[in-house]
Structure formats: structure tokens, C-alpha cells
Amino acid sequence: MTERESPQVRIAPVVVLPVNAGDPPFRLVEVLGELVGKAFSIEDVYEYAYAAGVRGADLEDPAVVHWVGGDQYTWSVRRWGRR
């Protein structure tokens, strides 16, 4: 396969990592490959993206945001097998 034929891999400019246990729980956010901080809600993700120049971000568009370990509605740590 030549360079011209190889598929291009595109990474979303915003990556939201899985929920971390904390009080309150949080998710780390990367924008354009750089760790920018902790998000405690979807509003924090939007603010980080905006501050980094990703204006008008559609947080449901996988070309803009890659959610790891859950979607934009996942903000708590699930503990399986515990009551």
C-alpha cells in the first residue's frame, strides 16, 4: 500500500477520558493533544474546548469530541458487584 492509498486517521480535537473517582467524580479533558484539565460536567468540556479555540463545538459530533469510557451523560463511577 502506498502512502497515497493509506487511510488517514483523524483524531477528534477534544478527547474526554473515563470518569475518575473523586469527590466529586471528574473526567480529564485533552484538547488538540494537550491535557487541559478536569471536567466535572459537560459544561466544563465545552469551556475547555472554547478556550482552546474549538468554537461552537458540537459535543455530540464524534469528529469533534471523542468520549472514552462513556458518553456525555456519564459523570459517575460505576462499581459493579457493590451495593
Domain count, the chain: 1
Instruction: Specify if 81 maps to a domain.
Output: no
Instruction: Specify if 62 maps to a domain.
Output: yes
Instruction: Specify if 42 maps to a domain.
Output: yes
- Rounded percentage of the chain residues whose pLDDT exceeds 70: 82
Question: Binning pLDDT at 50, 70 and 90, where does residue 31 land?
Answer: very high
Q: Residue 48 burial by CB count (10 A; 0-12/13-18/19+): exposed, middle or buried?
A: buried
pTM above 0.85, yes or no: no
Instruction: Specify if 1 maps to a domain.
Output: no
Instruction: Specify if 22 maps to a domain.
Output: yes
Instruction: Specify if 55 maps to a domain.
Output: yes
Instruction: Specify if 58 maps to a domain.
Output: yes
Q: For the segment 53-73, what is each residue's pLDDT rounded down to a tens digit?
A: 888 878 889 999 999 999 999
| Residue 6 pLDDT | 52
Instruction: Specify if 77 maps to a domain.
Output: no
Range(s) of the domain holding residue 28: 14-67
